[in-house]
């Protein structure tokens, strides 16, 4: 309790989940209701119903570090501040940006009450729509080379596919990064059978949701946009076709299942 008494303010990172309010946890809802001030990328803030007396600070998607610094400074004035993230705040999102800012910032920021409220991240929402593609070991890779060099991404793709991980690909393309997903597929091609299932999940949890499965040899990088998460299976990932129903895609829990 003493920490709370001396803490000058509170900063909560709130995961909104992938789409509409169905995906918001009760904890996230309470954190949003209790905040005096909200920060975040404009379209994410628009998902939060307005509350009288609560101020909002929308910002551009690429201004993560500046947003983190502004929110910390605001919390240090004694405010209860929340930063919203799509999906989970710890997955390619604001929680790490806030930790970086605390690490580099004034000592007084270390006495702030910082809380992280998890959300359903895109790969879990996409996987759930299709079956159990993440049923065995998997990893997540962001193709954004804004914060890391492309050769490092290539090394990680090689290592992941070479070790048999299912790979969830975040940030597959953007207006400024049109070629990365095609290059990633070329990098993965030598490691994977042509029949490996590939899932494209777009805007999951929103009204324009579209989820589809294809095989690696037929996968067209051009169908992905900024709102798409791609799951590339491993050699054991299978598609169960079902008459009159969407297929079930799954990765058996044991690699030896593939030999049955
Ligand atoms: N913190 C977020 C990820 C931010 S990175 C999370 O945990 O989900 C942004 C990337 O996430 C997008 O380029 C896309 O690959 C993925 N993404 C976010 N929301 C999505 C959704 N509703 N459907 C599919 N992919 C989504």
Q: Residues 76, 77, 80, 85: is their CA dihedral positive or negative?
A: negative
CA 30, CA 44: separation in Å to the nearest integer?
Answer: 17
In short, whether 201's Cβ falls inside 6 Å of ligand 1 is yes
pLDDT in tens, 101-122: 999 999 999 999 999 999 999 9
pLDDT mean over 235-259: 90
Confidence of residue 1 (pLDDT cuts 50, 70, 90): very low
Q: Is 139 helix (H, G, I), strand (E, B) or coil?
A: strand
Sheet architecture: strand order including 197-202: 138-142, 166-170, 228-232, 197-202, 210-215
CA 30, CA 116: separation in Å to the nearest integer?
Answer: 13
Query: Which of 67, 88, 170 has most ligand 1 atoms within 8 Å of its beta carbon, as the pocket-test mutant?
Result: 170
Q: Are 198 and 230 contacting, i.e. CB atoms less than 8 angstroms apart?
A: yes
What are residue 126's phi and psi, to 5 degrees? -65, -45
Q: Answer whether residue 260 shows pLDDT above 90.
A: no
pLDDT in tens, 182-240: 999 999 999 999 999 999 999 999 999 999 999 999 999 999 999 999 999 999 999 99
Atom 11 (ligand 1) nearest CA: 170
Query: Ligand 1 centre from 88 Cα, in Å?
Result: 9
In terms of DSSP bridges, do strands 80-85 and 10-15 run parallel, antiparallel, or are they unpaired? parallel
CA 222, CA 138: separation in Å to the nearest integer?
Answer: 24
pLDDT mean over 23-28: 96
Query: Ligand 1 centre from 142 Cα, in Å?
Result: 10
Query: Ligand 1 centre from 141 Cα, in Å?
Result: 12
Confidence of residue 2 (pLDDT cuts 50, 70, 90): very low
Q: Are 196 and 239 contacting, i.e. CB atoms less than 8 angstroms apart?
A: no
β-bridge mates for residue 82, sequence order:
12, 38
DSSP sequence for 2-44 = HHHHH---EEEEEE-BSSSGGG--HHHHHHHHH-SEEEEEHHH
pLDDT in tens, 10-20: 999 999 999 98
Rg (CA), the chain: 20
pLDDT for the residue numbered 234: 98
Phi-psi region of 17 (alpha: psi -120 to 50; beta: other; left: phi over 0): left
Please state the atom number of ligand 1 nearest to the C-alpha of residue 88: 7
In short, whether 171's Cβ falls inside 6 Å of ligand 1 is yes
Strands (E), 37-165: 37-41, 55-59, 80-85, 113-117, 131-132, 138-142
Please state the atom number of ligand 1 nearest to the C-alpha of residue 93: 1
CA 183, CA 138: separation in Å to the nearest integer?
Answer: 20
Q: Answer whether residue 70 shows pLDDT above 50.
A: yes
Q: Answer whether residue 123 shows pLDDT above 90.
A: yes
Q: Are 247 and 240 contacting, i.e. CB atoms less than 8 angstroms apart?
A: yes
In short, whether 229's Cβ falls inside 6 Å of ligand 1 is yes
Query: Ligand 1 centre from 87 Cα, in Å?
Result: 6
Q: pLDDT > 90: what percent of the chain?
A: 87
pLDDT for the residue numbered 106: 97
Summary mean pLDDT of the chain: 94
In short, whether 233's Cβ falls inside 6 Å of ligand 1 is no
Q: Answer whether residue 256 shows pLDDT above 80.
A: no
Confidence of residue 60 (pLDDT cuts 50, 70, 90): confident
Q: Are 161 and 188 contacting, i.e. CB atoms less than 8 angstroms apart?
A: yes
In short, whether 138's Cβ falls inside 6 Å of ligand 1 is no
Q: pTM for this structure?
A: 0.95
CA 217, CA 189: separation in Å to the nearest integer?
Answer: 9
pLDDT in tens, 151-171: 999 999 999 999 999 999 999
């Amino acid at each position: 309790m003493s920490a709370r008494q001396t803490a000058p303010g509170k900063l909560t990172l709130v995961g909104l989940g992938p789409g509409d309010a169905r995906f918001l946890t009760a904890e996230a809802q309470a954190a949003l209701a209790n905040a005096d001030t909200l920060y975040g990328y404009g379209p994410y803030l628009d998902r939060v119903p307005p509350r009288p007396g609560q101020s909002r600070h929308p910002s551009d998607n690429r201004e993560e570090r500046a947003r983190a610094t502004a929110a910390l400074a605001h919390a240090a004035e004694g405010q209860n501040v929340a930063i919203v993230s799509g999906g989970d705040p710890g997955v390619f999102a604001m929680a790490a940006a806030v930790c970086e800012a605390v690490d580099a910032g004034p000592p007084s920021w270390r006495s702030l009450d910082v809380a992280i409220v998890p959300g359903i991240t895109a790969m879990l929402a996409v996987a759930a729509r299709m079956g159990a593609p993440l049923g065995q070991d998997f990893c997540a890779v962001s193709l954004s080379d804004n914060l890391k060099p492309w050769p490092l991404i290539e090394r990680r793709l090689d290592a992941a596919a070479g070790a048999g991980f299912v790979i969830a690909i975040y940030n597959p393309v953007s207006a400024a990064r049109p070629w990365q997903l095609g290059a990633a597929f070329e990098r993965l091609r030598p490691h994977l059978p042509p029949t490996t299932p590939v899932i494209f999940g777009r805007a999951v949890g929103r009204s324009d949701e579209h989820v589809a499965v294809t095989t690696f040899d037929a996968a067209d990088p051009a169908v992905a946009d900024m709102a798409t998460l791609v799951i590339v299976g491993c050699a054991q990932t299978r598609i169960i076709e079902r008459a009159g129903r969407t297929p079930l895609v799954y990765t058996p829990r044991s690699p030896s299942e593939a030999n049955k």
